Amino acid sequence: MAFLSLSIDLAGSTRIKQEMVTIAQEDRARLETLYERFANVLYLLERGLYQAMIACRHARLDRLYLVKSVGDEYWYAYDLPEDAREAAAVTTEILTVLKEITAQERVLNLALPNAIGEDTTRLDDVSLFDIPLKIFVDVIDGALEVNSARYEHLKDLVLQATGQRKGPTYAVDNDFVEVCRRLNMGEAGMIVGKGRGISVRADYIGLEVDRFFRLAKCCHAGLIGVGGGLLERLPHRIANVSSDLDYLAIKRFATASGGGLSCFILNEEISPERMKGVAGSYVIHHLFDGATLSESIYANPRFVEPLLAPTRAFLAEHGFYAIDRAILFG
């Protein structure tokens, strides 16, 4: 069964954490305070995503699955309906949700007070960030789920670790469950004492999965990357931005299902070299509009420039700044 694969990442997070370490000046308590502020940004991001999903008509939160998260990078899978029209409606709503969360503010203030409550971090330092998202979404057809089979291949080692021998029967006690939980292995319905059990996450392997993550690295902060394979399945229309800008690579984009999504689109062909071993080029369609970019794409404050500078350069290369603001934000 095909599923939507979604990567959501806080752009520039490593730079921000480096700034935190510099500001904390080897004070662990100060650094922990800054990390907590960063974590709150993550919590709000997840909350905004799930709230928007709950409000959808076609897409359902109970079909969205967090495969794994590594710090501030999230990999989700969404089980698509088999019916092509229903799948298109769901995909359109999910793209609309992604546009909504991309447009949300994620302001992180790294200024810390000193012992008498004075702000010890100057605003002319890079201490204030409005963190953009890097998002990529595509459809995956050819992948194998591997985590469910790990349990049968590895449970004998868990038995050894918990002082048991492999045999026709064994005790699924709390020690056994705890080791399985830590190693993310088990089988559905494994419940032990007082409702304690194992929640096992699915995981996928396949060339399309490898390609997906290579492409996610090619996306740009503030833009929503959509894989070529997904866009082919989505009924849509493409038109010039305006009659006098027909030469621009940037076009208007609109879907024809799920309530409709209207924005701008810019296509980028990714070479096999950039995908590191995946044969054949592939197209990423970058979606954006005034809501997702906001005035920050024109501004040059220090809290915007460090994270959006690469996006500004990418858009400028393709004639973005020839588009009148009234068109972009209209």
Residue 307 confidence (pLDDT): 81
305 Cβ partners below 8 Å, 6+ apart? Answer: none
Residues in the chain predicted with pLDDT less than 50, given as ranges, are 115-117, 123-125, 191, 193-194, 258, 304
**CA R_g for the chain:** 23
Report whether 137 contacts 213 (CB < 8 A).
no
Cα four-point dihedral sign 143, 148, 151, 153: negative
Question: Around Cβ 157, how many Cβ atoms within 10 Å?
Answer: 13
Rounded Cα gap, residues 230 and 30, in angstroms: 44
Q: What is the SS3 assignment for 270? A: strand
Rounded Cα gap, residues 41 and 128, in angstroms: 13
Burial 75-97 (b: 16+ CB within 10 A, else e): bbbbebeeeeeebbbbbbbbbbb
Type and span of the H or E element at 37: helix 28-54
Which two structure tokens, joined as six digits, stand for 290? 């005034």
Residue 168 confidence (pLDDT): 66
Cβ burial of 141 (10 Å; 0-12, 13-18, 19+) is exposed
Which two structure tokens, joined as six digits, stand for 263? 């924005």
Amino acid in position 263: C
Residue 198 confidence (pLDDT): 60
Which two structure tokens, joined as six digits, stand for 64? 């969205």
Q: What is the SS3 assignment for 276? A: coil
Residue with tokens 């400028």: 316
Residue 156 confidence (pLDDT): 86
**Short-list 8, 141, 10, CA closest to 68:** 8
Residue 150 confidence (pLDDT): 84
Q: Can you give the pTM of this predicted structure?
A: 0.87
Task: Please state at what angle helix 13-24 crosses helix 28-54, rounded to 10 degrees.
Answer: 150
Residue 281 confidence (pLDDT): 94
199 Cβ partners below 8 Å, 6+ apart? Answer: 181, 186
Rounded Cα gap, residues 137 and 31, in angstroms: 33
Mean predicted lDDT score pLDDT of the chain: 86
Strand partners, 204: 145
Report whether 310 contacts 221 (CB < 8 A).
yes
Type and span of the H or E element at 215: helix 207-216
Question: Around Cβ 207, how many Cβ atoms within 10 Å?
Answer: 13
| 119 DSSP assignment | B
Domains and CATH numbers, the chain: 3-144+205-328 (3.30.70.1230), 147-202 (no CATH)
Strand partners, 225: 136, 286
Residue 123 confidence (pLDDT): 46
Calculate the CA 212 to chain-centre distance.
12
